[in-house]
Structure 1
Amino acid sequence: MKNNNNYSINRSSLKFLEKYLNGFSPTGAESEGQKIWINYINSYVTKIQTDLYGTAVGIINPNFSYKLIIEAHADEISWYVNYINENGLIYVSRNGGSDHLITPSKRVIIHTDKGFVYGVFGWPAIHTRKSSEEKHPNVDNIFVDIGVSSKTEAMNLGVHVGCIITYPDKFLLMNHDYFVSRALDNKIGGFIIAEVAKMIVENNINLKFGLYIVNSVQEEVGLRGAKMIAQTIQPNMAIVTDVTHDTSSPMIDKKIQGDIKCGLGPVIGYAPSIQKNIRELIINTANNKKIRFQRLVSSRDTGTDTDAFAYSNKGVSSALISIPMKYMHTTVEMVHKKDVESAILLIFETLYEINNSKLIIDKIENE
């Protein structure tokens, strides 16, 4: 049975998305978020496997020789405790591309062996600052205040150098159309690939290849989870989903960043790491199924796990489908619900086309 060229996020899927986004998945410590994701996808796959560093993989047809990956990354940006001064104030180091400009007045959670310790990024009041001496937030002057008066008090709470710091901001459905949250980069991708697996099962699609639904770790610090899992799986093809910038937002130069806007469809990427044939298959599928999409050029690399898969092993046919996002690497990342739904449908329809492609079938049959 084939679907009717339609998909919309239902209540149970939205409940999963909210739980997944509200969980914590800082780079290098993604286990909480991975457990939520695995628990959801488990009903739609034959097998679940994880690797040493926590990348999670749901597999349909694990015994098939032809292997196709659909992938997202699970980790979110965060901070490390880097230094505690004698007054108990905490200075930080980035874990991924955390933005220092958004920190003042933000609440935070410090993850310790004794549990959560709550704090705030403090900043001197406007009354105390001279305009001639105005300082701006930077990694060397932002600090976390946890309401103690000494380093000893902080350490007694379980805080030490190396503890991870995250933001507590929660998921918001804004005006019915926008998902707002921290960690949409790239848990929205994890949601998308999980929904694709769900559609395959609910539409009784009999795949002629092994499908590996991969939620990788440590993308934010160098595509590391994808590099590792590519060596483990050794796929024939990879379709990666991530986020990209909505360039209609203020202070962004479209001549440099491209012309992309939320609500106008997922973004199909052009870059050296993106293999032409699979990209054109995705474009043709979108056109045939009347799925609106946008295009974006990355001149050297995509900065996503696409690059890790494309150049692994002897080379893997790889493509990138991105979701337009406002305010990336902040706690109010925004994506449009329609773009998410269209990306899910586009990946599903692409897999359906591959499943019925003579080129792919011949390759499978000749192995």
Structure 2
Amino acid sequence: MTKPYSVPPFLSELLHARSPSGAENEAQAVFDRHVKSAADAYAKDALGNRLATLNPKGDPVLMLAGHMDELGLIITYVNKEGFLYFDTIGGHDLSVISGRRVVIQTANGPVKGVTGKRAIHLMDDEDRKRVPKKHEIWIDIGARSKDEALERISIGDVATYDHELELIHGSIGTARAFDNKVGAYIVGETLVRLAKEKKRLAARLVSVATSQEEIGTRGATTATYLVNPHIAVAIDVGHATDHPDCDNRKFGETKLGGGPIICRGPNINPKVYAWLVEAAKKAKIPYQLEADPRPTGTDARAIQMGRGGVATGLVSIPLRYMHTPSELVDLEDVERCVKLLVEFARGLESGDYAHF
């Protein structure tokens, strides 16, 4: 009988934390709890980033960045019957919002609700073909009036889907926010493992759990200015294209369980890319390649342009069904990515940034 897969507590707690962009406090607390004690120095900034440093006098300065924020909803209006209307935080697919259980974060604790819209029985043929607009979807919290609703929630409260981590087969898991709790876990866990090694790194390692990536890579911008790294690697999720309705001629070829995806393109420094591939080969870690001809939709785009420019790489975890309530990841790919970055950090030597 196959032994059940064990999810690391650090990762599990991050996935359960509710942290829409700008309201990352639950994820921040998890990162604090698991990483702070392993770091030689630990800091936070006004945007909510968490910055953990190992070997503070090391050279070169290596920054690892994984964002801890996720998609969410923000309450904008309550009608007289007590139904809540919202705007979206991050890039939602409007076709999958309706009929979901949600949790609203309020000053008095969580409030549960359901996203509603007119039932299919009450639609004509044209209505059934149309994706509802945001203002045509609401959240029902069981209130009977506006006053009753506002006793329980406030304008500006944020909500997330009520879809939690579940292993569906072996190491294959589903959760609402693998994007990008896995990245925050990987950068923190990499530092924790390196801190346990007796051999000191040449590099100064700064692992950053960044904020507000989903609304414009904002946390990465301030973190890069503060850290001022010579070398950086962003860790995010990437599209696994091994499912139906995904033409490899358009989207490339990457698969779940195939190992971390290493990016190439203008956003990526060629030396950093080569070192990542070298580290994967040295540690015998399977890896995949993707090509992106423009600034990527990740923290790497902000980091590369920080201060006078940063030699930047990007490693992604293959993921199916991005920005839906049930994203799918092989957790073995997450573990492989940690091992890849541990090997990459070990391999850096003093003065390596002079090669750029």
Residue 44 of structure 1 corresponds to 38
Query: Aligned equivalents of 1:132 and 1:56: distance in 2?
Result: 49
Residue 267 of structure 2 corresponds to 273
Q: How far does residue 336 in structure 1 lie from its aligned partner after superposition?
A: 0.7
Give the % identical residues. Answer: 32
Residue 6 of structure 1 corresponds to none
Amino acid at match of 1:360: D
Residue 149 of structure 1 corresponds to 144
**Is 1:245 aligned to 2:239, yes or no?**
yes
**Is 1:127 aligned to 2:127, yes or no?**
no
**Alignment CA distance shift 1:347-1:102 (3 Å):** same
- Provide runs of 4+ in structure 1 moved above 3 Å: 63-66
**Is 1:137 aligned to 2:129, yes or no?**
no
Residue 286 of structure 1 corresponds to 280
**Alignment CA distance shift 1:147-1:297 (3 Å):** same
Residue 107 of structure 1 corresponds to 101
SS of the aligned residue for 2:253 comes to: coil
Deviations 1:265-322 (A, max 9, x none): 1100012121001111111222233211111111111111111111111111110000
Residue 210 of structure 2 corresponds to 216
**Is 1:171 aligned to 2:171, yes or no?**
no
Q: How far does residue 114 in structure 1 lie from its aligned partner after superposition?
A: 2.4
SS of the aligned residue for 1:16 comes to: helix
SS of the aligned residue for 2:135 comes to: coil
Q: Structure 1 unaligned runs (5+)?
A: 1-8
**Is 1:97 aligned to 2:91, yes or no?**
yes
Q: Structure 2 unaligned runs (5+)?
A: none
Residue 4 of structure 1 corresponds to none
Query: Aligned equivalents of 2:201 and 2:284: distance in 1?
Result: 23
Query: Aligned equivalents of 1:341 and 1:78: distance in 2?
Result: 27
Counterparts of residues 1-367 of structure 1 (less than 5 Å): 14-64=8-58, 66-134=60-128, 135-157=130-152, 159-354=153-348, 357=349, 360=352
Number of aligned pairs? 351
Residue 5 of structure 1 corresponds to none
Amino acid at match of 2:242: S
Query: Aligned equivalents of 1:203 and 1:361: distance in 2?
Result: 24
Deviations 1:145-202 (A, max 9, x none): 1111221211122x23211111222111221121211111001011111221122123
Query: Aligned equivalents of 1:133 and 1:323: distance in 2?
Result: 38
Tell me if the contact between 2:171 and 2:331 (Cα under 8 Å) persists in the aligned partners.
yes
Q: How far does residue 133 in structure 1 lie from its aligned partner after superposition?
A: 3.4
**Alignment CA distance shift 1:225-1:133 (3 Å):** closer
SS of the aligned residue for 2:8 comes to: helix
The two structures have a TM-score, normalised by structure 1, of 0.91
**Alignment CA distance shift 1:48-1:20 (3 Å):** same
Q: How far does residue 65 in structure 1 lie from its aligned partner after superposition?
A: 5.6
Query: Aligned equivalents of 1:292 and 1:265: distance in 2?
Result: 5
Query: Aligned equivalents of 1:204 and 1:259: distance in 2?
Result: 39
Tell me if the contact between 2:203 and 2:345 (Cα under 8 Å) persists in the aligned partners.
no
SS of the aligned residue for 2:43 comes to: strand
